[in-house]
Chains A and B, each alone.
Chain A
């Protein structure tokens, strides 16, 4: 085995990386990222990513000049003790990073509504007709505290690709609610994490689990920070533009999820006890 590739590892998958050696299977590979499902209790998925790839919360980011070999789906390797080994390739943790994690803040309802309006004008609804038919009832159910499982079931796995559009929308909504409507976020998080494993791709299910914990990609955190900070239409457009540039249509799905989340949050009364516009996005 050659010299290991040095990677910056997400602390969100620390337990799997520093734990005992476990089997891990390549479940997906794009040009810039390889996903491995670890055989552990929490179905951890890790992503070995080029520095230019979207920085998902489970990413092990390669150095700027590294070109890692492509790995075929189905290849089995090991993960543990700070090392990922697949065939003749090894990745060693050289440092740790913490993915952006939203925490609950009180979103001024006026700001949330203004952001909802501004963002609605910026992106076409990426869902298909059936997805759209599920989105409305989902917002309704979250707003009044009704069961969300039926709507979630219709959105999970809807669309094609590594992260189907329906999942992107749910992920955007989950993180937005975690920030602005934590009480509505909880039932959605439970419904999504319960059903995701069976209803969508392994990668998408893993990313939804991160979203349920408020962990997200930097571009989504940036948009939510712009919303919380009461940025004007231009500021929101710039932040949304950065998110829209993510993936083929993942960004559009996430922005649409944010719009749904804002629709829910701007109707809900502010949770008692919290006050002020605290810092929204943490790195832990």
Chain B
């Protein structure tokens, strides 16, 4: 029982000090090892909830369990199939990114993507017809991807005919999914729905999906977790840079693609060119792998670890392990960053997409120390990137040795955001993101950095406090 106390008395104490500087100085005067916390008082109006959550005796073991599960979760790419098969999505049903939202509150890029999906599924004659039906038809149903166990980048619109990557975490017996990445520029996920966008989506459904499915079947499951571990040592942070991951995926699948006798050489070449030419192709595998990790930590009573961060273009939402599927939302911010061509901040839509699931498990903005090549793209220096990652360790419960950062001497990425640590330190999670155009049909206008609103974490804290026993 008192083994810890015994250890305390076994040698000179290594002391963490918080509060009066005088007492830290007294330790310095004794040549005694100590580390001072740069403490600041939490806001007094949050203090009652914070005291209650901090005093929850379940919290420590709950968070430890969440961390253990997040680190143990596996991620194997096992299948590529249509959404109608994988999650039983029916005609008129659409998934979208972020917390729940309806047409009336949907942002420009989400509306554009929904219009495109209506056209793709043959549910409307033209964009105006699609918009009208989306606003009025009772047969149309929208649901967050997260509610169906999956994730999708940017607008994240998934319709029944789209092909999905299917990933398995055998450790926790869980499945996740994500659609295939369309590439950069004018694409559906950024809200574009011009004929060329739909043409590409049809090719993805007719050729790319079946080709990948056949190659994967021949190859056998691909260990996405292993690839992510390698990519973060090759300069990818898994959110805004996925180049190494994409090429490794192609390396693994290309021989099986080429051996597929059912396909012409030209077809194989086009598939290889499409995958290899899209640096973000692998993002859509990092995301469902991350979803498996985050979901593994879900539904632990008293646990204050964040299990989802997602945006629908209007609101930013988070979920925590201790509060299940409830979303805590706040208005999504406009990312700060660099803009493509003639676009500027006025053209930008507020933050959108499920891709912040990567930050939820320590990738993306949290792993910036591993992606020096893109620091300028998101506005900063290499030192800034390293400082960002270091700061994220202050609000996370674990370090993931499977995703080790060479620049930090192979320290694992900061994993598992603790709501109470965010509230206490005022440090918000750092998210790397693409920026969508505000007007439906525009597409991507830039990329940059964004943070969730503190309001989400305050809401989560209050809910966790309600669920905690009184002190």
**B8 contacts partner chain A, Cβ-Cβ < 8 Å:** no
**B4 contacts partner chain A, Cβ-Cβ < 8 Å:** no
Q: How far is the CB of A101 from chain B (nearest CB, A)?
A: 13
Whole-angstrom CA separation of A6 from B29 in the bound complex:
6
Binds A, one of B30-38, B150-158, B251-259: B30-38
**A72 contacts partner chain B, Cβ-Cβ < 8 Å:** no
**A197 contacts partner chain B, Cβ-Cβ < 8 Å:** no
Q: Number of A residues whose C-beta is below 8 Å from B?
A: 16
A64 — which chain B residues lie within 8 A by C-beta? Answer: 28, 31, 33-34
> Across the interface, do B11 and A63 meet the contact criterion of CB distance under 8 Å?
no
Contact of A97 among B12, B28, B29, B34 (CB under 8 A): B12
B10 — which chain A residues lie within 8 A by C-beta? Answer: 283
> Across the interface, do A94 and B30 meet the contact criterion of CB distance under 8 Å?
yes
Size category of the binding interface on chain B = 10 to 19
Interface centre among B30, B31, B33 (most CB of A within 10 A): B31
**A208 contacts partner chain B, Cβ-Cβ < 8 Å:** no
> Across the interface, do B32 and A8 meet the contact criterion of CB distance under 8 Å?
yes
B28 — which chain A residues lie within 8 A by C-beta? Answer: 6, 63-65
Whole-angstrom CA separation of A61 from B14 in the bound complex:
14
- Per-position binary interface string of chain B over residues 5-46, scored 1 when its CB falls under 8 Å from any chain A CB and 0 otherwise: 000001110000000000000001111111000000000000
> Across the interface, do A95 and B11 meet the contact criterion of CB distance under 8 Å?
no
**A66 contacts partner chain B, Cβ-Cβ < 8 Å:** yes
Whole-angstrom CA separation of A64 from B15 in the bound complex:
12
- Per-position binary interface string of chain B over residues 396-423, scored 1 when its CB falls under 8 Å from any chain A CB and 0 otherwise: 0000000000000000000000000000
Contact of B30 among A6, A51, A66, A283 (CB under 8 A): A6
> Across the interface, do A66 and B31 meet the contact criterion of CB distance under 8 Å?
yes
**Chain A, interface SS category:** strand
Q: How far is the CB of B305 from chain A (nearest CB, A)?
A: 29
Contact of B31 among A63, A218, A283 (CB under 8 A): A63
> Across the interface, do B31 and A61 meet the contact criterion of CB distance under 8 Å?
yes
**A62 contacts partner chain B, Cβ-Cβ < 8 Å:** yes
Whole-angstrom CA separation of A6 from B10 in the bound complex:
22
A8 — which chain B residues lie within 8 A by C-beta? Answer: 12, 30-32
Whole-angstrom CA separation of A61 from B10 in the bound complex:
17
- Per-position binary interface string of chain A over residues 1-17, scored 1 when its CB falls under 8 Å from any chain B CB and 0 otherwise: 00001111000000000
Whole-angstrom CA separation of A63 from B30 in the bound complex:
7
Whole-angstrom CA separation of A22 from B12 in the bound complex:
29
Whole-angstrom CA separation of A7 from B30 in the bound complex:
7
Whole-angstrom CA separation of A283 from B34 in the bound complex:
21
Q: Which residue of A lies closest to B11 (CB)?
A: A218
Whole-angstrom CA separation of A95 from B15 in the bound complex:
15
Whole-angstrom CA separation of A97 from B9 in the bound complex:
12
Contact of A283 among B11, B32, B33 (CB under 8 A): B11
Whole-angstrom CA separation of A221 from B108 in the bound complex:
68
Chain A to chain B: the 6 pairs with minimum beta-carbon distance, closest first: A63-B31, A95-B30, A94-B30, A6-B31, A8-B31, A64-B33
| Interface, chain A (partner B; CB < 8 A) | 5-8, 51, 61-66, 94-95, 97, 218, 283
| Interface, chain B (partner A; CB < 8 A) | 10-12, 28-34
- Of the A-B pairs whose beta carbons lie under 8 Å apart in the complex, a sample of 8, sorted by A's number, is A8-B31, A51-B33, A63-B28, A63-B32, A64-B34, A94-B31, A97-B12, A283-B11
Add 11 more A-B contacts to A6-B30, A64-B33, A94-B31 (CB < 8 A).
A5-B31, A8-B30, A63-B28, A63-B32, A64-B31, A64-B34, A65-B28, A66-B31, A95-B31, A95-B32, A283-B11
